[in-house]
Structure 1
Amino acid sequence: MQWNPLVPEISVSDFAKSLRFYTEGVGFSVAFTRTDPDFAYFDLDGAQLMLEADHDESWRTGAFDAPRGRGLNLQLEVGDVRAARDRLAQLGATVFRDLQESWYETADGPEGQLEHLVQDPDGYLVRLVEILDPPASA
Structure 2
Amino acid sequence: MRFNSIIPELSVKNLLISKIFYLEILEFTLEYERIENSFMFLSYGKAQIMLQQINGYWETGKMEHPFGRGVNFQIGCSDVETLVKKLLSNGYGLFQDIEEVSYKENEIEHRVKEFLVQDPDGYLLRFSQSIC
- What is the TM-score with the length of structure 1 in the denominator? 0.90
Amino acid in structure 1 at the alignment position of 2:84: R
Q: 1:90 to 1:37 in 2, by over 3 A?
A: farther
Residue 84 (str. 1) matches residue 83 (str. 2): yes
Q: Rg larger in 1 or in 2?
A: 1
Matching residue of 1:136? none
The alignment status of 1:66 with 2:65, answered yes or no, reads yes
Distance (Å, rounded) in 1 between the aligned partners of 2:131 and 2:22: 23
Tell me the equivalent position of 1:127.
Answer: 126
Following superposition, the deviation at residue 119 of structure 1 comes to 0.3
Aligned length: 132
Distance in 2 (alpha carbons) for counterparts of 1:62 and 1:94: 28
Counterpart of 2:13 in structure 1 is 13
Q: CA deviation at 1:51?
A: 0.2
Amino acid across the alignment from 2:78: G
Q: Deviations over 1:86-123 (max 9, x none)?
A: 12222322311010111012224210110110000010
Gaps spanning 5+ residues in structure 1: where?
A: 134-138
Q: Is 1:117 matched up with 2:110? A: no
- What pairs with 1:49-64 in structure 2 (closer than 5 Å)? 49-56=49-56, 58-64=57-63
Amino acid at match of 1:18: S
**Runs of 4+ in structure 1 over 6 Å off:** none
Contact 1:94 1:120 in 2 (8 A): no
Q: Secondary structure at the match of 1:22?
A: helix
Q: Letter of the aligned partner of 2:42 in structure 1?
A: F
Amino acid corresponding to residue 126 of structure 1 in structure 2: L
- TM-score, length-scaled by structure 2: 0.94
Which is further off, 13-22 or 100-109? 100-109
Corresponding residue of 1:4: 4
Structure 2, unmatched stretches of 5+, are none
